[in-house]
Copies of this chain bind each other. A is one copy, B any other.
Amino acid sequence: MAEYIAPLEILIEQFRLLPGVGEKTAVRYAMSLLHRSEEEVARFADAILGAKRDVHECRICHNISAGEICPVCADPDRNRSVLCVVETPQDAMAMERLHMTDWRYHILGGVLNPKRQLTAEKLHIEDLLERVGKEEIHEVVLATNCTFEGDTTAAYLHKRIAAQYPDVRITRLAQGIPVGGYLEYADPITLTQAIQGRKSL
């Protein structure tokens, strides 16, 4: 027999398009679906189509949203003076899960990465600059990831914002040893940053 029968092969290929899914995992997913009822399988297909149909991008912050404006931007009780700049909607979700800040967000849609043709024009940078002025922002928290690209993007944004709005405070999340981390196993760059950023007790 051919390795897989055609309708299964098609489904396996589709599962392989998901991030990080190899053949073995795709087969496992596909086989698990065959064991579900037709109704359950229809629910899965509907959820896929429904998410693509009903999830939009917030007109203000570019976060994902069911409506034209996301709940954070629509919330009148949010702090209107601090803007937290993140790479992706997932990053904003991670912040929201803390229930710690009442900042609003601006989703860049990625980071600068010339190798992957991700230049400043491809990211939501121009309207970030516009928002800072129009919304009278006092502080911009540059919460891009602590990666090479995240740092580069933060440095670029810092330069751009400082040039246009010299009075706006621009901050970056602290870097250092994560909680539970050992100095022995920390990479040299993290350890260097932890030393340079050391705090008085």
Chain B neighbourhood of A49, CB < 8 A: 41-42, 45
Q: A1-B96, A66-B5, A93-B3 are in contact. Are A34 and B52 (CB under 8 A)?
A: yes
A50 at the interface (CB under 8 A from B): yes
Which of B7, B70, B96 is within 8 Å of A66, CB to CB? B7
Chain A: interface residue total (CB-CB under 8 A):
56
Which of B5, B20, B30, B54 is within 8 Å of A28, CB to CB? B20
Chain B neighbourhood of A52, CB < 8 A: 33-34, 36, 38, 41
Chain B neighbourhood of A33, CB < 8 A: 48, 51-52
Stretch among A9-17, A134-142, A148-156, A157-165 lining the B interface? A9-17
Q: How long is the Cα–Cα vector from A2 to B64 in the complex, in angstroms?
A: 12
Write 7 A-B pairs (CB below 8 A) sorted by A numbering: A1-B72, A3-B97, A5-B64, A5-B66, A7-B54, A7-B55, A18-B28
List A residues at the B interface (Cβ < 8 Å): 1-8, 10-11, 13-14, 17-20, 25, 27-34, 36, 38, 40-55, 64-66, 70-72, 75, 88-90, 93, 96-97
